[in-house]
């Protein structure tokens, strides 16, 4: 667009006179509902993640004890778990995962509210991974319970199943929106 003449930059005649027409994304009837669905899903996940430290350890301990009784494995005496360093490590890991989950959920909320085009695709990838993780977690809980015929813990199964189903639905909606209209269901206007 410009050429250096030895003393100053001059516009090249016949060269492009700018970057060409810019494309602006214009919201459609899909934009706001899709945005609110993403915000609602990740707000619910942030609240759920914040609640996990209050119930998860006791629920999973009770479930493990039930499975050990049915399977015939001895249950450790009360107080033995408190002295176990592995227990402390797993508790710390739980808190780290909870904090990471809350941060990622808040980041997804901000990205959805800002409606950045790249964020639509980032959240779509994140939803796909989340659905796979939820299905894996469900299998991790359900397979052992089917083997020993113990009832799976509902506080773990219900949220994972909900995330998997809601995630598949939201991911499908985001893919259709991007394919038919554009990111966040917005149309490109010159």
- Each of the 190 residues of the chain gets a pLDDT tens digit; together they read 778 887 888 887 765 555 545 567 888 999 999 999 999 999 999 998 898 888 877 787 777 777 777 666 665 666 655 556 667 787 888 899 999 999 999 999 999 999 999 999 999 999 999 889 888 888 877 777 777 666 777 777 888 888 889 999 999 999 999 999 989 999 887 6
pTM for the model stands at 0.72
Question: Do residues 114 and 183 make contact, with C-beta atoms less than 8 angstroms apart?
Answer: no
Question: Do residues 31 and 184 make contact, with C-beta atoms less than 8 angstroms apart?
Answer: yes
Q: Which residues, in sequence order, are CB contacts of 189 under 8 Å at separation 6+? A: 23, 24, 25, 26
- pLDDT for 32: 95
- pLDDT for 44: 93
Question: Do residues 161 and 97 make contact, with C-beta atoms less than 8 angstroms apart?
Answer: no
* 3-class state of residue 169 by DSSP: helix
The sign of the CA dihedral 152, 155, 158, 163 is: negative
The sign of the CA dihedral 112, 53, 157, 140 is: positive
* Angle in degrees, CA 116, 159, 149, rounded to 5: 145
* 3-class state of residue 115 by DSSP: coil
Quote the CA–CA distance of 91 and 97 in Å, as a whole number.
10
Quote the CA–CA distance of 120 and 166 in Å, as a whole number.
17
């Amino acid at each position: 667009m410009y050429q250096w003449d030895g003393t100053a930059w001059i516009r090249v005649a016949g060269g492009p006179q700018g970057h060409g027409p810019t494309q602006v994304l214009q919201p459609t009837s899909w934009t706001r509902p899709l945005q609110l669905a993403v915000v609602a899903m990740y707000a619910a996940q942030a609240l759920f993640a914040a609640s996990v430290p209050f119930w998860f350890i006791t629920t999973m301990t009770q479930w493990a004890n039930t499975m050990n009784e049915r399977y015939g494995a001895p249950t450790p005496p009360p107080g033995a778990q408190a002295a176990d360093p592995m227990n402390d490590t797993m508790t710390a890991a739980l808190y780290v995962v909870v904090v990471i989950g809350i941060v990622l959920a808040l980041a997804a909320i901000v990205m959805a509210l800002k409606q950045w085009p790249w964020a639509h695709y980032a959240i779509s990838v994140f939803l796909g991974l989340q659905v796979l993780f939820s299905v894996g977690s469900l299998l991790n809980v359900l397979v052992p319970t089917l083997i020993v015929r113990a009832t799976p813990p509902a506080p773990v199964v219900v949220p994972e199943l909900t995330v998997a189903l809601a995630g598949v639905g939201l991911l499908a909606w985001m893919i259709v929106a991007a394919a038919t209209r554009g990111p966040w269901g917005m149309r490109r206007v010159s």
